[in-house]
Structure 1
Amino acid sequence: MKKIALLALTVLLAVSCASKKDLEAAEARARLNQELLDSATVKLNACLADEKVSAAELSALRSQVADLRANNQSLIDNTGNLTTLSKKGAENLEKSLESLREKDLQIRTLNEAITRKDSVTLALVQSFKGVLGNIDDEDISINVEKGVVFVSISDKLLFASGSANVNNAAKNVLGKVAKVVNDKPDIEIMIEGHTDNQSISTAKFEDNWSLSAARAASVTRILQNDFNVAPERMTAAGRSYYVPVADNDTASGRAKNRRTRIIVLPKLDQFFDIVEQGMEKARAGE
């Protein structure tokens, strides 16, 4: 009887170990799939941008073809001789060709700028994942939407219910976010506070607008005072419950909506500087 019990215990331990290994393997595959998804998202954004640029190029070419046809018809009407090209017609044709070359240069330069921007976006995603990779997915998520990087942190990790005071334990997470921001001096961030749709009215917070704005300001203040993020690079904003990511009719949905979102803001002036520099180099034949 003891032998049978011992054998059963051995089998149970073996199954438990195997299950733990399977779980670890599944978690590893999930992390790999998420990384592949983020990379694919960036590439998809690049493809969508390429599609818009190609459509603009096609529209420009069609416009130029229409101009050329109008010029040719004008020559036919004025001279009545297809074998003779007037000096004015030749000048118009040369101007049209020059305009085509200019538009082609602009399109190629814009494509190069978009590619560089997408590379920067992917590098930012990898940087945030590198410092926040050990955080539970239910508490924090990193994703890319339309070329913009978002870091979303659940309020259960940052705040007590109805409070705008950041928990001491959460400062470790904010410190990791600050490290990426401080290592990338060319980026700016917006800190957004989000709540669920449950009404609140206290001596300190009149409504969800007040609570969400106060929470965003608290996180911004921690990043500035505790981790030396330059205040001119940050914007604090309260969004109340008007930008939900889940259904507010369920407890789990409301929990997802209560979050603080850190948005890496694209610097449009830098993007256009890249375009202008590319245009100048192209004109110089570099």
Structure 2
Amino acid sequence: MSRRKKKHDEEHIDESWLIPYADLLTLLLALFIVLYAISSVDAKKFQALSRALNEEFQGGTSIFDFPSPMSEREMENLDKKSIEVKTSENAEEDQKKLAEELRKKLDQEELAAIQQKVNTYIMEKQLSDRLETSLSGEGLLVSIRDNVLFHSGSATILPEDYKIVGEISDLLVMDPPRNIIISGHTDNVPIQNSNFGSNWELSVMRSINFMKILLQNKQLDPQMFSAKGFGEFQPVASNETVEGKARNRRVEILITPRSSSQNQ
């Protein structure tokens, strides 16, 4: 009887070790799930998990807290260097802005000197009722009434006005040269002749013919000139009066700032 009992005990193996082993596998599985979750969540979820584990294990330095490898002094020095670099960049940017503002100011002063020269010419030739100037951010604008240069409805410059155009061309000689835009304008009365189908065509041809006469001055660079025609679409006065229509029929010379000349 005792021999049979002993044999039965030998056949029965102690399986108590399976319990901690199963617990260990469960913990490993949970760890892998946590690691996988961490790899696919955003920073906010990561921080929330870190706080939860810290609270669970009653404080201490969490394995998710990555301390800086630099000392506080090194961090302070790094901050100072960052501030110095930023300050240097700001100073360089301020210098560029200051230089640009100074350049624009000098450019406007040069245009003002050209305007004074043109105004002196207008006074000497007693052309104040036919020519006028204005200075703005777009440049120096010289406006010439069409009755100085053309017969009504014509784009051919009057022979007696060739001298005026030649003298104006002398005023446009600059070193270094600037971009100059010639534009033609009309009133709103429809054109009624066989040469032009619209005021637009008339205004374009007037600006081109005027520019051709200017460029007979060999001191001017043709590359710096361009011509435009606006028809009746950019009036400077009301077309309801005779005086307003006379002001709208004009050729304009725009002497541009050097910044515009460089960009073009």
Pick the TM interval, shorter chain.
Answer: 0.5 to 0.7
Gaps of 5+ in 2: 1-67
Q: TM-score, normalised by structure 2?
A: 0.66
Tell me how far apart the structure 1 counterparts of residues 77 and 218 of structure 2 sit (CA, whole Å). 69
Aligned to 2:103: 113
Instruction: Give the counterpart of 1:90 among 80, 85, 90.
Output: 80
Tell me how far apart the structure 2 counterparts of residues 83 and 207 of structure 1 sit (CA, whole Å). 79
Tell me how far apart the structure 2 counterparts of residues 183 and 176 of structure 1 sit (CA, whole Å). 14
> Sequence identity, in percent?
25
Task: Say which SS state the counterpart of residue 182 (structure 1) adopts.
Answer: coil
Cα contact 1:192–1:216 (8 A) shared by 2:
yes
Aligned to 1:266: 257
Instruction: Write the mapping of 1:139-150 to structure 2, written as runs, cut at 5 A.
Output: 139-146=130-137, 148-150=139-141
- Tell me: CA distance 1:98–1:227, structure 2 relative to 1, closer, same or farther (3 Å): closer
Task: Say which SS state the counterpart of residue 86 (structure 1) adopts.
Answer: helix
Q: Does 1:238 pair with 2:236?
A: no
Cα contact 1:132–1:173 (8 A) shared by 2:
no
The one-letter amino acid of 1:169's match is: E
The one-letter amino acid of 2:220's match is: V
Q: How many Å apart are 1:267 and its aligned residue?
A: 3.0
Cα deviation code 1:161-213 (max 9, x no counterpart) = 10111112222221111111125451221111100011114221000011000
Tell me how far apart the structure 2 counterparts of residues 86 and 157 of structure 1 sit (CA, whole Å). 75
Tell me how far apart the structure 1 counterparts of residues 176 and 153 of structure 2 sit (CA, whole Å). 34
Q: Does 1:206 pair with 2:197?
A: yes
Q: Does 1:125 pair with 2:84?
A: no
Task: Say which SS state the counterpart of residue 142 (structure 1) adopts.
Answer: strand
- Tell me: CA distance 1:177–1:271, structure 2 relative to 1, closer, same or farther (3 Å): same
The one-letter amino acid of 1:165's match is: T
Tell me how far apart the structure 1 counterparts of residues 111 and 217 of structure 2 sit (CA, whole Å). 26
Cα contact 2:182–2:253 (8 A) shared by 1:
yes
Gaps of 5+ in 1: 1-77, 273-286
Task: Say which SS state the counterpart of residue 107 (structure 1) adopts.
Answer: helix
In proportion to residue count, which structure has more helix? 1
Q: Does 1:194 pair with 2:192?
A: no
Tell me how far apart the structure 1 counterparts of residues 151 and 258 of structure 2 sit (CA, whole Å). 34
Aligned to 1:3: none
Tell me how far apart the structure 2 counterparts of residues 106 and 254 of structure 1 sit (CA, whole Å). 46
- Tell me: CA distance 1:140–1:223, structure 2 relative to 1, closer, same or farther (3 Å): same
- Tell me: CA distance 1:120–1:95, structure 2 relative to 1, closer, same or farther (3 Å): same
Q: TM-score, normalised by structure 1?
A: 0.61
CA RMSD of aligned residues (A): 2.7
Tell me how far apart the structure 2 counterparts of residues 191 and 97 of structure 1 sit (CA, whole Å). 46
- Tell me: CA distance 1:184–1:141, structure 2 relative to 1, closer, same or farther (3 Å): farther
Tell me how far apart the structure 1 counterparts of residues 73 and 233 of structure 2 sit (CA, whole Å). 68
Tell me how far apart the structure 2 counterparts of residues 217 and 269 of structure 1 sit (CA, whole Å). 21
Name the count of aligned residue pairs. Answer: 195
Tell me how far apart the structure 2 counterparts of residues 116 and 100 of structure 1 sit (CA, whole Å). 24
The one-letter amino acid of 1:171's match is: Y
Cα deviation code 1:206-265 (max 9, x no counterpart) = 000110001111101111236663322211111101110000111111111000001112
